[in-house]
Amino acid sequence: MQSMKEVNLICTKCNKKFPIDQAHFRCDICNEPLELEEIKEGRIRKDNVFNQTIIERYADFFPFLDIDEDLSLGEGFTGLVESNKIAREIGIENLYFKNETQNPTWSFKDRGTIAGIQHAVKLGYKTIGTVSTGNMASSVAAYGAKANLKTYIFVYKDIADEKLNPIAIYNPRLIKVDGDYGKLYLESFKIGEENNIYFINSDVPFRIEGYKTIAFEICEQLDFDIPDYIVVPTSAGGDIRGIEKGFREFKNCGLIDKTPKIICAQASGCSPIYTAYKEKSDTVIKYENPSTIAHAIGNPTPPSGNQVLRMINWNRGTCVAVSDEEIIEAQGMLARTGIFGQPASAVPLAAVKKLREEDYIKKEERAVCIVTSTGLKYTAAFKKHNLRFEECNIKDLSKIVK
């Protein structure tokens, strides 16, 4: 197939190679995730950014020889917001928030979906799908609708209507599945193979490729002056792997001279990667009885968990877990600086606060928190905050304001 460059997929554990002209997602020997070979040469296409998609601007870092612009919904190119107020409050000099709520379906998942769907369409697939608890489901449903592809969305059976409707509105084949969520991930690949459906699940190779653009944009937004830490709320482990790979590839290409330390931030109510890290284990095991307000990062069996442990090890980053109380506090702080993220998206700020208190992060260091999705996706969190308003008659208004 001549629509893709000559690169391979490679097993993240045993390095076995696989061709990229197939929908291959995991190694048939060790069952670990596959990824695209590291890019060693590339530059940024600095054309008109208003007339570019992320896949075009960073085309050298994707394996596509031609790009189907019609698949895009205008994902990426999100803001990087500095907050002096929060930085002062927690005692650090520079703190930034990568505001992924600005994406077409209000989460960073859109970056991975666009890369996955480019690949699926190149391979000739007419049907796509995903397994998700929320944000990835709406993302894949939206891009499936844009591309006019039949789209299967498998969600777990107890999903709240508040989450179901924002997926259903795009009109996919939306199926609530009763069964183990971890098994559903592998089962979907099997169903995909049997029925010619390309499942753009949480950590498939092209989704990781799309997530690299978060790192690329941060580099450009900070004039290539790399921060000390990138803090990523982590569930399946796709986003954090993509961001780390992005920095690594920019360094390979001489665009930056160092890579930041990557911090894997989890909710203590569902922290399988943090638990394995703390126990110095190289294997993540299922987290029993998970319970956290940060639903979006509540995967008890992260499919990229082992790879995240390997990556944190070579990157010299760390793992941290924060309680629901700390998450809600951070959500409020974040909102009071003008950014409304959902509980999962406040986890990085709670993590920075904690690591600063422990003096792991030093006062003069710089950190970027990834605000992965909007607070409007989970309005039930409102009742955890002490939200106030006042009332009066119009004739008393000027008195009250004085």
Whichever of 59 and 312 has its CB closer to ligand PLP, that residue is: 312
202 binds ligand PLP (CB under 6 A): yes
C-alpha–C-alpha distance, residues 100 and 76, integer Å:
8
Minimum distance from residue 5 beta carbon to Zn ion (Å)? 23
Which helix (H) or strand (E) element contains residue 9?
strand 8-11
CB atoms within 10 A of CB 389: 4
Among residues 249, 342, 352, 369, the one that binds ligand PLP under rule CB under 6 A = 342
**386: helix, strand or coil:** coil
Decide whether 61 or 185 has the Cβ nearer to ligand PLP.
Answer: 185
Q: From CA 269, how far away is CA 35, in angstroms rounded?
A: 29
**Binding residue count for Zn ion, defined by CB under 5 A:** 7
Q: Say if CB 107 and CB 341 are below 8 A apart.
A: no
Q: In the complex with ligand PLP, which residue's Cβ is closer, 9 or 297?
A: 297
Q: DSSP code of 373?
A: B
235 binds, among ligand PLP, Zn ion, none (CB under 5 to 8 A by kind): ligand PLP
CA–CA dist 226, 281 (Å, integer) = 30
- CB of 382 vs Zn ion, minimal distance in Å: 45
Which position has the token pair 């002209």?
21
- 138 vs 151, beta carbon nearer ligand PLP: 138
**Of 30, 160, 169, 285, the one binding Zn ion by CB under 5 A:** 30
3-state SS track over 88-157: HHHCCCEEEEEEHHHCCCCECHHHHHHHHHHHHHHCCCCEEEEECCCHHHHHHHHHHHHHCCEEEEEEEC
How big is the CA angle at 202 (ends 199 and 204), to the nearest 5 degrees? 60
Please, what is the minimum distance in Å from the beta carbon of residue 16 to Zn ion? 5
Residue 174 amino acid letter: L
* Positions in 42-81 near ligand PLP (CB under 6 A): none
Binds ligand PLP (CB under 6 A): choice among 138, 235, 268, 306: 235
For the record, the structure tokens of 274 come out as 């943090």
Which of ligand PLP, Zn ion, none binds 11 (CB below 5-8 Å, type-dependent)?
Zn ion
Site string for ligand PLP, 285-304 (x = CB under 6 A): -----------xx-------
344 binds ligand PLP (CB under 6 A): yes
Partner whose binding site includes residue 373, from Zn ion, ligand PLP, none (CB under 5 to 8 Å by kind): ligand PLP
275 touches ligand PLP by CB under 6 A: no
Contact stretch for Zn ion (CB under 5 A) within 8-16, 76-84, 240-248, 275-283:
8-16
Burial of 142 by CB count in 10 Å (0-12 exposed, 13-18 middle, 19+ buried)? buried
Collapsed DSSP state (helix, strand, coil) of residue 233 = strand
CB 352 within 8 A of CB 333: no
DSSP-assigned letter for residue 64 = B
Q: Is 234 in the site for ligand PLP (CB under 6 A)?
A: yes
Stretch that binds ligand PLP, among 44-52, 76-84, 89-97, 233-241 (CB under 6 A): 233-241
Task: For residue 231, list its beta bridge partners.
Answer: 263, 369
Of 68-76, 170-178, 190-198, 231-239, the window that binds ligand PLP (rule: CB under 6 A) is: 231-239
CB 294 within 8 A of CB 344: yes
Residue 324 DSSP code: H
Q: Which two tokens stand for residue 347?
A: 């986890």
Between 42 and 298, whose beta carbon lies closer to ligand PLP?
Answer: 298
Contact call for residue 14 and Zn ion (CB under 5 A)? yes
Nearer to Zn ion, 16 or 24 (CB): 16
Report CA-CA distances (Å) from 25 to 92, 152, 396.
40, 18, 65
Minimum gap (Å) between residue 192 Cβ and ligand PLP = 19
Cβ-based nearer residue to ligand PLP, 197 or 231: 231
259 binds ligand PLP (CB under 6 A): no
How far apart are CB 300 and ligand PLP at their closest, in Å? 12
Catalog residues that contact ligand PLP under the rule CB under 6 A: 107, 109, 135-136, 202, 233-240, 296-297, 342, 344-345, 372-373
Catalog residues that contact Zn ion under the rule CB under 5 A: 11, 13-14, 16, 27, 29-30
